[in-house]
Structure 1
Amino acid sequence: MKLLYNGQLLNDDEVQLSLSNRAFQFNDGFFETAIIKDGQIRFWPDHLQRLHDAAKTLQLALPESLFHILNGTAILDLAQQNIAFNHGRIKLKVWRSGSGLYTPETNHADWLLTVTPITSSAQTPLKVGICEAVFTSYTFFSHFKGPNSLVYVLAGLEKKKRGYDDMLVLSRDGFVSELISSNIFWIKDKELYTPDLQTGCINGILRRNILRWCAAKNINVHQVQANLENLITAEAVFATNVTGIRFIKEINEYQFAGMHELIGAIQEEWQL
């Protein structure tokens, strides 16, 4: 497989990272994932905005080589080479250069970008458990991907152990926050609800687009700090990430309806 490392096109077995690499030593960085569908990078402007927000928050100086790649055709060229042009996943990892301990030696950044082919995910409704092992917490960096990854890893282990399709992670205050790799929405009385970023959830790309779409359509949408009792009385519940929308049929023993006209309208808008 080909990849891009600091602007160089390499085979994956040619990449050599030092043991002092700060991504390895301290998780000092972030990552961004996006989907290619039929030669188009879906929601690319939103991904770029979140990337810049993450870099600014972590005080990382993005190199010129990365700007050149992000604004050119190199990503789609790489997708062609890796047979991922029709349906692929982009993953961009950015981390602080240099060594040092907790106090960095520099704010310059290194980066690595891969594009891998994927197949369409199953669209069967999800059976979700309530995570007991970990909680989300709001910080100034909790809205992007990378710094809090261990929360989702441990939630994934609990999902596997307990035999669920996904896990609902609550905030430390007991509010509904998110799933392992998806935002969560629910519908009550024809109005849409989703957790506020103050719960510590990721500011997902499809989440952003749904909020904008609702505002344009004058659909009431509420970003809330809601407890579990509020969620389980919903008419319908669904999960969103850049791969699409999944219905949630069950959270623990609580059952939910499947299709809802509002969800259908959202799916139709982006052909999800």
Structure 2
Amino acid sequence: MVNFNGDLISEKKVQLSSENRGFKYGDAIFETIKVHHHKIIFWEDHYFRLMASMRMLRMKIPMQFTLEFLEQEILKTVAVQNASPSFRVRLNVFRKDGGLYTPKTNKIDYLIDVKANTYQTKESYSVDVYKDFYSYSGLLSTIKTNNRMINTLASIYAQENDLDNCVLINEKKGVVEVTNANIFILKGSVVKTPALTEGCIKGVVRKKVIEMIAKNPAYTLEETTISPFEIQKADEVFVTNAIMGVQPITNYKKKTFKSDFSKKISKSLQVLEVTSV
């Protein structure tokens, strides 16, 4: 069952027209959200990011789109799924049908799709740089729009080359992120992650990890430009998103990494998930 504009219906009965703007123009945004034991993890952060994205894309935010309303709609959809302790929720918002590049209206529809979350942290995780196309820098790239072509192509490249993921780079040859997550590198006591101006997604878990590291006097956190060469020179590398939490990278090209720091961050994040409201 999915939730389409508040109605719970079978996935097979969802009818999106040929004029759907998400389909025709990628005129849509989404949030990928973790729900564990009927609790939405970091819900406020997801909600405010969604609102900021809708405003940036000139979508009309419905009056009923309050924090409480959308929380209720997500949990209502989770409640009718098969039993599972953890769920992966995709909340998709798209402009209503009509128009060419210029829409007929800025009003929106929404769809909530729920699947069991089966992700488990991998002991071995290999990545390399995807060089065929660039992920362009700029604020628009920080929004989770439905235009995910480079992510799709990089994922196919990873599959074809027996990799777990690929590092995306921007037009300045700077590291942006991996196909589905933000990236962090540790060298000595300095932790670096690409700045938002590099074009990376404004990740919810990225924000939480930055806050945790900033509170630890033993480490210095830098949001900055990172070259692919710096990854090879790092002591540790890890990636983060709402579903996987923290996933250590163990192999990059011919370099093998430790994961001690990554595992500590992962445990701290798990505690934060439990205690977050």
Q: Which runs of 5+ in 1 are unaligned?
A: none
1:237: which partner in 2? Answer: 237
Q: Given the superposition, is the C-alpha separation of residues 92 and 84 from structure 1 closer, same or farther in structure 2, using an over 3 Å criterion?
A: farther
User: How far apart are 1:52 and its partner, in Å?
Assistant: 0.7
1:75-108 deviation per Cα after TM superposition (whole angstroms, max 9, x unaligned): 2232121025521011011111131101111111
Contact 1:97 1:107 in 2 (8 A): yes
Mapping 1:192-211, distance limit 5 Å: 192-211=191-210
1:66 offset after TM fit, Å?
Answer: 4.1
Which residue does 1:175 correspond to in 2?
Answer: 174
Distance 1:91 1:75 in 2: 9
1:89-128, aligned counterparts within 5 Å? 89-128=88-127
- 1:21 paired to 2:12: no
The residue type paired with residue 248 of structure 2 is F
CA distance in 1, matches of 2:84, 2:74: 10
SS at the partner of 2:250? strand
Partner letter of residue 27 of structure 2?
Answer: D
Letter in 2 for 1:78: T
The one-character-per-residue Cα deviations of 1:133-177 (angstroms, maximum 9, x if unpaired) are: 221112332112125411101111111111211111111111111
Give the root-mean-square deviation of aligned CA atoms.
1.8
Equivalent pairs counted in the alignment come to: 269
Farther-moved stretch of structure 1 (216-225 vs 38-47): 216-225
Note the residue ranges of structure 2 that are not aligned, 5 or more in a row: 272-277
How far apart are the structure 2 equivalents of 1:74 and 1:147?
A: 21
Does the 8 A contact of 1:7 with 1:66 survive in 2?
A: no
- Alignment partners' CA distance in 2, 1:49 and 1:72: 12
1:131-210 alignment to 2 at 5 Å? 131-210=130-209
Alignment of 1:33 onto 2:2: no
Matched-pair contact (CA < 8 Å) for 2:6–2:73: no
User: 1:84–1:116: 8 Å Cα contact kept in structure 2?
Assistant: no
Is residue 84–residue 118 contact of structure 1 (8 Å, CA) maintained in 2?
no
Q: Whole-Å Cα distance in 2 between the matches of residues 9 and 126 of structure 1?
A: 38
**Which amino acid letter does the alignment assign opposite residue 125 of structure 2?**
L
**For the Cα contact (< 8 Å) 2:129–2:228, is it kept in 1?**
no
Residue type of the alignment partner of 1:163: D
**Quick check: 2:139–2:196 contact (8 Å CA) kept in 1?**
no
Alignment check: 8 A CA contact 1:142 1:148 kept: no
Q: Given the two structures, how large is their TM-score scaled by the length of structure 2?
A: 0.91
For normalisation by structure 1, the TM-score amounts to 0.92
Inter-partner Cα distance in structure 1 for 2:42 and 2:124: 24
Query: Retained in 1: the 8 A contact 2:139–2:199?
Result: no
The reply to whether residue 81 of structure 1 matches residue 91 of structure 2 is no
Say whether the 8 Å CA contact 1:6–1:65 is kept in structure 2: no
Q: Secondary structure at the match of 1:121?
A: coil
Q: State the 1:129 CA deviation.
A: 1.6
For 2:5, give the aligned amino acid: N
Q: 1:17 to 1:71 in 2, by over 3 A?
A: closer
1:15 Cα deviation from its structure 2 partner? 1.5
| 2:222 corresponds to | 222
Counterpart contact for 1:133–1:158, Cα < 8 Å: no
Report SS of the residue matched to 1:107.
coil
